[in-house]
Every structure is written in structure tokens, then in C-alpha cells.
Amino acid sequence: MINFEAIDIQELLPQCPPFLMVNKLLYCDLKTAKTTFTVNEDNIFCRNRIFSETGIVENIAQTCAAQIGYVNKYVYHEAIKIGFIGAIRNQEFLRLPNVGEILVTQIEAIQEVFQTTLVNATVYIENELITSCEMKIAITNIDGK
């Protein structure tokens, strides 16, 4: 069994500090991924000890990137690819995280067309849903690492 938490998340992502919005990969397969992220006061998306909507969107996108990076590296043995947010639909923020809280973000691919993947995403703090959305991620052929 794979110990996902032992994987250095930075190996899977083209992003690097201070623009890293995921800490650990909890689970990953060809369609899903689950990550955690602890909100720190010095985060570039924190203001007045609150993590912004922009930071949460980036956290979701980086969870997608972690899934893509994991599959590329460990399943297909290819380089990590750079992706972009293509669209976000049906997102409502129920509340914003405070410094010190841990986000648990899960994505599930529901459709893939060419180099674009549509995912359902949810973000929780403990058992409280704080946002959900559909996000389209476009993948390039550009190596990210």
C-alpha cells in the first residue's frame, strides 16, 4: 500500500513556496485526490488572519495539480506538467478559514476531453463544508519541473 503522506508534495507540483497551497497528499488515484493544507499567518492569501477566497481556489487547483503530478510521475513515469484553471462554476463560499485551521480538499474528475479535465471539488474544515465547485483544468505539454 502506498504511503501518500510520505511523498514530498513539492515533487508533484510546478508551484513552489511561497505559492504552495497544499501540504500533504492523503490519497490519489487516476480520478481522485485528497490533500491537506494548514493556513499560516504568513501566507500570501491571508489578511487579518483569514484565508481568502483566492487562496481557497488556488488550494483546489493545486489539489488538481497534485493528482495530475502523481499520475504523471508514479503511473506514467512522465514529467510534471503545467496546468491552468480554465473555468470555475457553482462555487459558493460558506465561510473562510482562519489561521491555524486545516483544509481537507478533495477533487474527483468527472470528465476529460483532450487536455482538459472537469472536476468536482469540495473543501472541508473538520466535518464542515466551506466550499464546493466544478473546476476545469487545462493541461499543457510544458514540463513544470
In a domain, 14, yes or no: no
pLDDT digit string (tens) for the chain, length 145 residues: 789 989 999 999 999 889 999 999 999 999 999 999 999 999 999 999 999 999 999 999 999 999 999 999 999 999 988 899 999 999 999 999 999 999 999 999 999 999 999 999 999 999 999 999 999 999 988 777 6
In a domain, 76, yes or no: yes
Q: How many domains does the chain have?
A: 1
In a domain, 82, yes or no: yes
CATH code where residue 30 lies: 3.10.129.10
54-88 pLDDT, tens per residue? Answer: 999 999 999 999 999 999 999 999 998 889 999 99
Residues 6+ apart with CB under 8 A from 39: 46, 51, 55, 97, 98, 99, 100, 101, 102, 103
Cell of 141: 505539454
Q: How far apart are CA 54 and CA 134, in angstroms?
A: 15
Structural domain boundaries enclosing 42: 20-133
pTM of the model as a whole: 0.96
In a domain, 87, yes or no: yes
